[in-house]
């Protein structure tokens, strides 16, 4: 048995035990998770989420899922993966709590007009207008109402997880809904002669 | 709904990067710990993990979580190999 495996087995054994040994393991894991999240969350999202607050929820999930840990990674990596998801979920919930889906998707006719920039060459402006007009038409004709709503929500800045929360769906279902919409839009643009490689050049 | 140039650019970026995705967010999550260890070790991504990589390239939600995870793991004390 490698040191790595022994360490992983030791975590699982201690967390599955009872009494002071389990308490010590929980305290040690809490310290590790707070340390990891303090750096990763603060670097990206400031003080929106306090690691100490979310680690308790994360620990409950970790302990509940202990039997599903398959040992394919270090135990601490697995635990950190769960804690990170819990922390980001909470961050997203807080960040977007005042954003309603209706305020983003109430307009049934999504308009893709963007302001003209005088410094943009005329030819590029024409290309942009053509791409936007084609894209807008594809959104109206190729996508289902649910896909249009999801694309609008995405354009409005809502992450997939928050769209799922607001629509009573789940993350996988919303991801698939949007992915299928992206496939249709990409295919439609290509049929219209607009290839993906042109996007960056036209909208740089 | 008015759209900014950045929003359009983001949408077109998402459309441009769309490829077949054989996994989903939960499928990705179930292998994320192993994938993160490969990334941190600088190892080549084996064929079995290509689907995870493709999903991360196409799902901004999962990519955010992965990037934060990597930062968090870097903050943990090194373990014996």
Q: What is the DSSP string of A53-97?
A: HHHHHHHHHHHHTGGG--SSS-HHHHHHHHHHHHHHHHHHHHHTT
Identify the pLDDT of residue B27: 94
Q: How far A117 CA sits from the closest chain B CA (Å)?
A: 10
Convert A157-169 to b/e letters by CB count within 10 Å (16 or more is b): ebbbbbbbbbbeb
Q: Are residues A139 and A151 in contact, defined by beta-carbon separation less than 8 angstroms?
A: yes
Give the domain-ending residue among A74, A95, A116.
A95
| Residue A137 and residue A83 in one domain | no
| Residue A40 and residue A131 in one domain | no
| Residue A50 and residue A111 in one domain | no
Give the domain-ending residue among A61, A95, A129.
A95
CATH code for position A62: 1.10.1740
| Residue A88 and residue A107 in one domain | no
Q: With an 8 Å Cβ cutoff, are B68 and A41 in contact?
A: yes
Q: With an 8 Å Cβ cutoff, are B37 and A179 in contact?
A: no
Q: With an 8 Å Cβ cutoff, are B3 and A43 in contact?
A: no
Q: With an 8 Å Cβ cutoff, are A76 and B32 in contact?
A: no
Query: Which range marks the domain in which residue A54 is found?
Result: 3-95
| Residue A78 and residue A132 in one domain | no
Share above pLDDT 70 across residues of chain A, in percent, rounded to a whole number: 86
Q: With an 8 Å Cβ cutoff, are B1 and A156 in contact?
A: yes
Number of domains in chain A: 2
| Residue A37 and residue A120 in one domain | no
Residues of chain B contacting residue A118, judged by C-beta atoms under 8 Å apart = none
- With tokens 């929820």, the residue in question is A57
Whether B2 shows a pLDDT value over 70: the answer reads: no
Among A161, A177, A170, A30, smallest CA distance to A94 is for A161
Whether A87 shows a pLDDT value over 90: the answer reads: yes
CATH code for position A119: 1.10.10.10
Q: Which helix (H) or strand (E) holds A119?
A: none
Residue A155: pLDDT band (50, 70, 90) is confident
- pLDDT tens for residues B9-60? 888 888 888 888 779 999 999 999 999 999 999 988 898 899 999 999 989 9
Give the domain-ending residue among A95, A111, A142.
A95
Whether A1 shows a pLDDT value over 50: the answer reads: no
Residues of chain B contacting residue A152, judged by C-beta atoms under 8 Å apart = 1
| Residue A151 and residue A70 in one domain | no
Considering only CB atoms, A199 lies closest to which of B7, B16, B25, namely: B16
Whether A3 shows a pLDDT value over 60: the answer reads: no
| Residue A174 and residue A106 in one domain | yes
Considering only CB atoms, A203 lies closest to which of B12, B73, B74, namely: B12
pTM: 0.86
Identify the pLDDT of residue A129: 80
* First and final C-alpha spacing in chain A: 54
| Residue A56 and residue A110 in one domain | no
Q: With an 8 Å Cβ cutoff, are A186 and B15 in contact?
A: yes
């Amino acid at each position: 048995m490698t040191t790595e495996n022994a360490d992983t087995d030791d975590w699982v054994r201690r967390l599955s035990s009872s009494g002071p040994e389990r308490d010590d393991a929980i305290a040690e894991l809490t310290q590790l998770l707070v340390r990891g999240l303090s750096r990763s969350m603060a670097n990206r999202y400031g003080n929106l989420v306090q690691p100490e607050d979310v680690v308790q929820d994360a620990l409950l999930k970790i302990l509940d899922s202990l039997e599903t840990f398959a040992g394919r990674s270090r135990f601490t990596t697995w635990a950190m993966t769960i804690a990170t998801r819990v922390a980001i979920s909470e961050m997203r919930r807080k960040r977007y709590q005042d954003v309603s889906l209706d305020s983003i998707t109430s307009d049934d006719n999504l308009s893709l007009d963007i302001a003209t920039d005088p410094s943009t060459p005329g030819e590029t402006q024409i290309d942009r207008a053509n791409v936007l007009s084609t894209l807008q038409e594809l959104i109206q004709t190729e996508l289902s109402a649910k896909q249009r709503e999801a694309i609008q929500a995405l354009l409005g800045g809502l992450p997939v997880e928050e769209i799922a929360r607001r629509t009573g769906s789940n993350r996988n279902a919303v991801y698939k809904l949007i992915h299928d919409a992206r496939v249709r839009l990409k295919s439609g643009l290509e049929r219209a002669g607009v290839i993906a490689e042109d996007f960056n050049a036209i909208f740089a | 709904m008015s759209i900014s140039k950045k929003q359009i650019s983001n949408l077109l970026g998402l459309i441009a990067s769309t490829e077949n995705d054989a996994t989903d967010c939960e499928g990705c999550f179930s292998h994320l710990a192993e994938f993160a260890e490969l990334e941190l070790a600088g190892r080549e991504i084996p064929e079995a993990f290509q689907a995870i990589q493709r999903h991360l390239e196409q799902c901004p939600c999962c990519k955010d979580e992965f990037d934060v995870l990597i930062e968090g793991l870097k903050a943990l004390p090194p373990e014996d190999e």
